[in-house]
């Protein structure tokens, strides 16, 4: 794997699922990791305990990244504890799935505020320290839904597509400061969220995936570690699709 020794990483929404796997993978490669959570405190502390038990360095910080002041406080907490910030992973996300005819304005707003505006807040707060040190890796977790859309997920797909446009724009703005900005677009991944889906929907998704299976959070985490590494220093503004061929 790729060496992240001496790097400091924030992974938003990392108390479970893909975020948890990314936090643990980055810590395993030597990064000091800030495990961010909005409400699942005990789950976040379990992630920190698991990282520390494996010999890594981590702490948990509560912040609702949809709120600018809390996102800024999250960045400040990381720098206060570890002295710098090298890696920001925008993973925090929620769903409020329903057909657009039934979708309320609240359903729309809460998903866009967390999934897209949250990334904006975190990027904006993280950019200044990264610019000062002339180094940074920003990685946002989108979705194949953001590439192709998905019935019943107009709000989620819009937010995930927005992350791609946001990241490409910021990649252009920050490239001269040696800060890369990239996106990972997972397909059907085995998490608590997908476990709650009806069995027939899961089966249909697997059938549409050429590799014939769901992905794992660890496979997304491996992609994130690569994009955070020195070896990915010439990659910016890109969307890495990790979906078993679903979006082909």
Q: Which residues are catalytic?
A: 156
Q: Identify which of 184, 204, 202, 182 has the alpha carbon closest to the alpha carbon of residue 194.
A: 202
SS3 242: strand
**Eight-class DSSP state of 138:** E
Q: In what order do the strands lie in the sheet with 57-62?
A: 57-62, 32-37, 8-11, 87-90, 136-141, 179-186, 239-242
In degrees and rounded to multiples of 5, residue 51 shows phi and psi of: -65, -45
**Eight-class DSSP state of 67:** S
Taking the C-alpha atoms of residue 48 and residue 91, their distance in angstroms, rounded to an integer, is: 17
- Write out the two tokens for 71: 């996102």
Do 225 and 2 touch, CB atoms closer than 8 A?
yes
Do 58 and 51 touch, CB atoms closer than 8 A?
yes
SS3 32: strand
SS3 157: helix
Task: Using alpha carbons, list the distances in angstroms from residue 180 to 52, 94, 155.
Answer: 28, 25, 27
């Amino acid at each position: 794997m790729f060496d992240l020794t001496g790097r400091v990483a924030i992974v938003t929404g990392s108390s479970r699922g893909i975020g948890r796997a990314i936090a643990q993978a980055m810590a395993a490669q030597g990064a000091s990791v800030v495990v961010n959570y909005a409400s699942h405190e005990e789950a976040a502390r379990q992630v920190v305990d698991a990282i520390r038990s494996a010999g890594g360095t981590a702490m948990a910080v509560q912040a609702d990244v949809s709120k600018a002041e809390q996102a800024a406080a999250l960045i400040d907490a990381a720098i206060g504890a570890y002295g710098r910030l090298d890696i920001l992973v925008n993973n925090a996300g929620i769903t409020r799935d329903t057909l657009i005819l039934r979708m309320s304005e609240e359903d729309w707003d809460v998903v866009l505020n967390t999934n897209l505006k949250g990334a904006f807040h975190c990027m904006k707060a993280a950019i200044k320290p990264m610019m000062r040190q002339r180094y940074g890796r920003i990685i946002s977790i989108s979705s194949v839904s953001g590439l192709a859309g998905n019935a019943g997920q107009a709000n989620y797909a819009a937010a995930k597509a927005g992350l791609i446009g946001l990241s490409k724009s910021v990649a252009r703005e920050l490239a001269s400061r040696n800060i890369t900005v990239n996106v990972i677009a997972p397909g059907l991944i085995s998490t608590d969220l997908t476990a709650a889906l009806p069995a027939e929907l899961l089966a249909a998704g697997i059938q549409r995936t050429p590799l014939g299976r769901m992905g794992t959070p660890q496979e997304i985490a491996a992609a994130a570690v690569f994009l955070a590494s020195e070896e990915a220093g010439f990659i910016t503004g890109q969307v890495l699709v990790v979906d078993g061929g679903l979006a082909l």
